[in-house]
Amino acid sequence: MIWILIVALLLLSGWFWRRWYLTDVREMELRERCKTLQNEKKVIFDFLHNLGDAMTDGMDLDYMLQTVLNGAEKVTEARGGIIYLLNPKTKKLVVEVVHGIFPPPFPIDDATEQKIMTQWDFLESFLKTESIHFSSQSLIAQVCREKRYLWIPDTTHDNRFPKFKDDSMRMKSMLAVPLSYQNEPIGVLALANRIDNTPFRETDFEMLKSIGEQASFAIHSMKTYRQLMESQKLDADLELASEIQKILLPRQSPKIDGFDVVGRNYAARQLSGDYFDFIEIDADHYGIAIADVSGKGVPASIIMAMCRSILRSKAIGNTSPSEVLKAVNRQISPDIKKDMFITMIYLVINKKNHEIKLSRAGHELPLLFNKKFGDTTEIKSSGLALGIDEGEIFDEVIDEKTLFLDQGDTLLLYTDGVSEAHNNLGEEFGRENLISLLKNGSSVLAFDLLDSIVEKVRQHSEGQNQMDDITLAIIRRI
C-alpha cells in the first residue's frame, strides 16, 4: 500500500514539475516575444519620428526617401533595398535611392555582373542608370502598375528572377509594395534578402506595407509642397519681371509743342507682349511706337524687351521711320524664332512744322479722326511684320506716309487686344466702336479719351477674361 502512495506522489510531483517547467518555458517564450514586439515597436516609432523630421527638415525629398529606406531595412533586417519613383512624363520607373546589396531585378550581361562582384559600389550607380518602363513585364513595373503587394519568401524556383553566378548576387527572398496616393501610382519600395539568410516573414511583409502607406503620403505631400514652392518662386519671379517690364514702358507722356500725346498698356497676364514707346530723336523730332509681339507670356515679353532696345538704338538721330524699321528688322530677325514676329507702327513728329511721318510693319491700321469734317479714315500703308524676313522682302514692301494734322485732329494707334476684345456672345469690339468713340471724344483731352476707350472695351468684355494685351497711343493736334 505504501509503495502505491510513493509512486502516486512521484507521479504527482513529476506532473507538477513538468507543468512548472512548461509554464516557465512558455513564460520565457512570451517574454522573448514581448521583447521582440517591443523592439519592433521601438523601430516603428523611431521610423515614424525620423520620417516626421525628414518631412519638416527643409522638405528634402532625397533625405526623406533615404529615411524611408533605412527604416524599412531596419524593421525587416533586409540586406538591401531600393525605391523607384515613376516619372509621369517618360512613364519610366527610375531608381531614386538604393542601399546595401539589391540584386538587379532584370538580366544583365556577364561583364556587368563581373564588374559588380568586384566593385560593389558600382551596383548603386548601375541601378540608377537602368530605368524600367511602366508598361513592361518587370515585377517592379507590375507592382507599380497593378498596385500589387509582393511577398516571395523563396525565389529558388521562381523564373521571374534572373540567375546570377555569384551567390551574393541572387535574390533569395523579396518584398515589394506599391507607392501610390489616391489611386495614382508614385513608385515602388522593394527589399531583398534578410541579413540572417532566412526568408522574409509575414510580419516583415505587414510592416513594409504599413511603411509603404506612410511613405506614399509623405512623398505626395513633399512633391505637392515642392510644386507649391516652385510655383510661388515662379510667381515671385514673374512679379519681379512684370515690375521690370513696367519700368521699360514710358512713365509719362512727352511734351511736344502743338500735340497732346498719351499711351497706355494693360497686360492680359503678368507679362505683356505689347509695347509702346516715346523716343526723343533729336531737338526737333520725337518718335512714337506701338508694337505687338506674337504669342504671350515670358517669350513674348523677352522679344518685346529686345525690340525696345534695338528700336531705341536705331532711332536716335534717324528721322525716317521706314529706315529705322528696316534696321530693326535686320538686327532682330536672326534672333527671333521662326514662329514669332512683331507688328509695329513707328512714326516721327517734326516739332517745328508739325509734320508726321509714319511707317507700318504689319500692324493694325491706325485711325485718323478729322475734326473739321467729322469723319475717320484708316491710314493705309504697306509693310511686313518684323522678324518674318531678314531684309530683302521687308525693305522692298515697307513704305512711309506723311501726315499733317489740323487742330483737333486725332490719330489713334492700338493693338488687336482692343479691336478683337470679345463679349460673351463672341462679338468683337471692332473698329466701328473705335470710330464712334473718336468722334464723340473729340472735345476731351487725349488722356480722357484713352480712358474712355479702355472703359468701353472692358464693358464690352464684361464677364470674359482679358485674353490679349491692350495697348493704345493717341496723338492729337492742339
Segment 255-276 shows an average pLDDT of: 84
* 216 domain-assigned: yes
Q: Which range has the worst mean pLDDT, 181-190, 219-228, 283-292, 303-312?
A: 219-228
Condensed to tens digits (0 to 9), the pLDDT of residues 97-154 reads 999 999 998 888 888 888 888 887 888 889 999 999 999 999 999 999 999 999 999 9
* 57 domain-assigned: yes
Map grid coordinates 524600367 to a residue: 132
Question: 205 lies in which domain range?
Answer: 31-226
252 plus 121 within the same structural domain: no
Last residue of a domain, one of 226, 256, 280: 226
Last residue of a domain, one of 195, 226, 257: 226
CB burial readout 138-164, b (16+ within 10 A) else e:
bbbbbbbbeeeebbbeebeeeeebeeb
Percent of the chain with pLDDT over 70: 83
Segment 255-259 shows an average pLDDT of: 90
358 plus 439 within the same structural domain: yes
How many domains is the chain built from? 2
329 plus 203 within the same structural domain: no
269 plus 205 within the same structural domain: no
Condensed to tens digits (0 to 9), the pLDDT of residues 336-383 reads 877 788 999 999 999 889 999 999 999 999 999 998 888 899 998 899
**In the predicted structure, residue 243 carries a pLDDT above the cut 90:** no
Give the CATH number, domain containing residue 353.
3.60.40.10
The mean of the pLDDT values for the chain is: 83
Q: Which of 207, 210, 181 is nearest to 194 (CA)?
A: 207
pLDDT of residue 55: 47
**In the predicted structure, residue 410 carries a pLDDT above the cut 60:** yes
Condensed to tens digits (0 to 9), the pLDDT of residues 298-316 reads 777 788 888 888 999 999 9
**In the predicted structure, residue 213 carries a pLDDT above the cut 60:** yes
Condensed to tens digits (0 to 9), the pLDDT of residues 387-401 reads 888 878 999 999 999
Give the CATH number, domain containing residue 213.
3.30.450.40
pLDDT of residue 417: 85
Instruction: For the beta carbon of residue 109, count every other beta carbon within 10 angstroms.
Output: 8
183 plus 257 within the same structural domain: no
**In the predicted structure, residue 24 carries a pLDDT above the cut 90:** no
Condensed to tens digits (0 to 9), the pLDDT of residues 424-460 reads 888 888 888 888 888 888 788 888 998 998 899 888 8
| Contact call for residues 91 and 133 (beta carbons, < 8 A) | yes
- Distance CA(433)–CA(429), nearest Å, equals 7
56 plus 186 within the same structural domain: yes
3-state secondary structure labels for all residues of the chain: CHHHHHHHHHHHHHHHHHHHHHHHHHHHHHHHHHHHHHHHHHHHHHHHHHHHHHHHCCCCHHHHHHHHHHHHHHHHCEEEEEEEEEECCCCEEEEEEEEECCCCCCCCCHHHHHHHHHCCHHHHHHHHHCCEECCCCCHHHHHHHHCCCEEECCCCCCCCCCCCCCHHHCCCCEEEEEEEECCEEEEEEEEEEECCCCCCCHHHHHHHHHHHHHHHHHHHHHHHHHHHHHHHHHHHHHHHHHHHHHHHCCCCCCCECCEEEEEEEECCCCCCCEEEEEEEEECCEEEEEEEEECCCHHHHHHHHHHHHHHHHHHHCCCCCHHHHHHHHHHHHHHHCCCCCCEEEEEEEEECCCCEEEEEEEECCCCEEEECCCCEEEECCCCCCCECCCCCHHHHHHCCCEEEECCCCCEEEEECHHHHCCECCCCCECHHHHHHHHHHHCCCCCHHHHHHHHHHHHHHHCCCCCCCCCEEEEEEEEC
pLDDT of residue 69: 92
338 plus 300 within the same structural domain: yes
Last residue of a domain, one of 226, 259, 286: 226
167 plus 109 within the same structural domain: yes
Condensed to tens digits (0 to 9), the pLDDT of residues 84-101 reads 999 999 999 999 999 999
* 236 domain-assigned: no
Segment 238-265 shows an average pLDDT of: 79
45 plus 184 within the same structural domain: yes
pLDDT of residue 25: 54
253 plus 331 within the same structural domain: yes
* 9 domain-assigned: no
Distances in Å between the Cα of 111 and the Cα atoms of 47, 132, 164, 179 are 38, 21, 12, 33
Condensed to tens digits (0 to 9), the pLDDT of residues 282-294 reads 999 999 999 988 8
pLDDT of residue 474: 93
Q: Which residue has the higher pLDDT, 221 or 171?
A: 171
Q: Which residue has the higher pLDDT, 413 or 35?
A: 413
pLDDT-derived band at 189 (thresholds 50, 70, 90) equals: very high
pLDDT-derived band at 244 (thresholds 50, 70, 90) equals: low
218 plus 311 within the same structural domain: no
337 plus 289 within the same structural domain: yes
* 4 domain-assigned: no
**In the predicted structure, residue 34 carries a pLDDT above the cut 70:** no
* 209 domain-assigned: yes
pLDDT of residue 218: 85
* 23 domain-assigned: no
* 238 domain-assigned: no
**In the predicted structure, residue 17 carries a pLDDT above the cut 50:** yes
